[in-house]
């Protein structure tokens, strides 16, 4: 049972990341609970990224460098996102000078757009690994391959107020997380079954 639970926890973290990051913020509220839920969502991206890395790394084999690139780019994205929380939260301070408020909001907005660049690197690396190894369905690779250039283009427009490419990334994470969750544990269970079959029965 545990052989299935742990992989599925890592895999399903991607869906939970999307739900907690996008769901509460879509209400338009700036309540403290919304911020807490978004922070939890960001933290859940870490186990999903780790599980995704383990799948890609195993498929890529010796001399793998694309799967570590995807993992590192994902961490860079998360680091920028967490760093942008401080100016965004400080901008809510009551009685703040309007110019300072605008500057803090701009810092938060630019940081969000900049995250598109490492996300693009992550998607490109993932797309190549899937193409080489077929570790995931090719339509997931196709979506990753479309998301990568979209994120790079979006990330170059630092004055942009909206990041449509990020929606593509969230869609990719959701679909990939579901696929990985459905697959999680199967290989472990099969390996355990094979090991049990290969082990001789004790003499009675």
Q: Which two structure tokens, joined as six digits, stand for 142? A: 């196709």
42-91 pLDDT, tens digit each: 999 999 999 999 999 999 998 889 999 999 999 999 999 999 888 887 88
Please state the pTM of the whole predicted model: 0.85
pLDDT higher for 174 or 34? Answer: 174
108-158 pLDDT, tens digit each: 899 999 999 999 999 999 999 999 999 999 999 999 999 999 999 999 998
Q: What is the mean pLDDT of the chain?
A: 85
For tokens 């401080």, the residue is 86
Q: What is the distance between the alpha carbons of residues 108 and 106, in angstroms, rounded to a whole number? A: 5
Q: What is the distance between the alpha carbons of residues 183 and 59, in angstroms, rounded to a whole number? A: 14
Q: Which two structure tokens, joined as six digits, stand for 71? A: 């993992």
Q: What is the distance between the alpha carbons of residues 15 and 48, in angstroms, rounded to a whole number? A: 9
């Amino acid at each position: 049972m545990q052989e299935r639970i742990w992989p599925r926890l890592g895999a399903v973290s991607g869906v939970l990341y999307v739900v907690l990051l996008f769901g509460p913020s879509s209400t338009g509220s700036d309540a403290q609970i919304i911020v807490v839920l978004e922070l939890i969502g960001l933290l859940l991206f870490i186990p999903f990224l780790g599980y995704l890395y383990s799948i890609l790394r195993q498929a890529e084999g010796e001399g793998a460098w694309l799967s570590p690139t995807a993992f590192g780019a994902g961490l860079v994205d998360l680091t920028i996102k967490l760093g942008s929380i401080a100016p965004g939260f400080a901008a809510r301070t009551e009685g703040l000078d309007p110019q300072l408020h605008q500057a803090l909001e701009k810092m938060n907005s630019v940081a969000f757009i900049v995250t598109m660049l490492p996300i693009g690197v992550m998607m490109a690396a993932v797309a190549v690994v899937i193409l080489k190894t077929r570790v995931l369905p090719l339509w997931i690779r196709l979506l990753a391959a479309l998301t990568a250039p979209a994120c790079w283009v979006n990330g170059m427009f630092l004055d942009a107020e909206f990041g449509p490419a990020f929606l593509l990334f969230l869609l990719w994470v959701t679909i990939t997380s579901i696929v990985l969750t459905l697959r999680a544990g199967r290989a472990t269970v099969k390996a355990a079954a094979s090991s049990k079959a290969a082990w001789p029965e004790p003499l009675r």
